[in-house]
Amino acid sequence: MQLTTLELSGQTQSHVIEVPSQPRFIHQQVLPAFQQLQVKAKQAGFALTIVSSFRSFEQQLSIWNNKFSGLRPILDHDSQPLDPAILSEEEKVFAILRWSMLPGASRHHWGSEIDVCDNNALPTGYQLQLIPQEYDEGGYLAAFSTWLDNNITDFGFYRPYDKDRGGVSREPWHLSYAPIAAQAQQACTLAFITNTISNADIQGKAAILANIEQIYTQYINNVSTPN
């Protein structure tokens, strides 16, 4: 199913539906596969829960602008906060891109992306941070992450940020549904992203557009593909 321009950029919700029992939205074609994966996880003792899924253009724009303006922290590659006061606009752009995609270019617009955790593994009162250390050996979600490694492809999912390729940081929690994501990624061209940013009320616009080709190559297209 080919996404429309508005669906690709998160400026409509026509392609997503609410996940039963969770206040999350995903692409209507993803729901059956997710539910099957969730049942398999439950059988293995995991409470597979969606932490984040569809995100609108406005939500992604708010995240970006709040980070750029210092209202939300900008993290380095070790998940430690940076001091925005000492960063140039260009440095801010590339620092934000390590963890947060440009509005209009976020895979979360497509409805094919879910960030997941195992609620059973988290201590009472623990606030999930979505950092790799939680999913790596010794982390609360290490066993769950290993289970995902061995099972997600059976249901059409893969990890686009399975390792650090020098662009977006590794995100072991981030799953893509291949039948939708592969088509959407092809449609998310440099021209499409450039036009979307040019028409957006986004902070750092000049620095973004001055570096848009590098951003596209290093951050937007620099992901793993389905096996």
Reported pTM:
0.94
| Residue boundaries of the structural domains of the chain | 5-220
Assigned CATH topology for domain 5-220? Muramoyl-pentapeptide Carboxypeptidase; domain 2 (3.30.1380)
Q: What are phi and psi of 186, to 5 degrees?
A: -65, -35
Band of residue 79 on the pLDDT scale cut at 50, 70, 90: confident
Give the chain's mean pLDDT.
96
d(CA 141, CA 163) in angstroms, rounded, equals 17
pLDDT at 100: 94
One-letter amino acid identity for 34? F
Tell me the per-residue pLDDT of 108-154, one tens digit each, with 9 for 90 and over: 999 999 999 999 999 999 999 999 999 999 999 999 999 999 999 99
Distant-in-sequence, close-in-space partners of 56: CB < 8 Å, separation ≥ 6:
10, 11, 13, 109
pLDDT at 1: 67
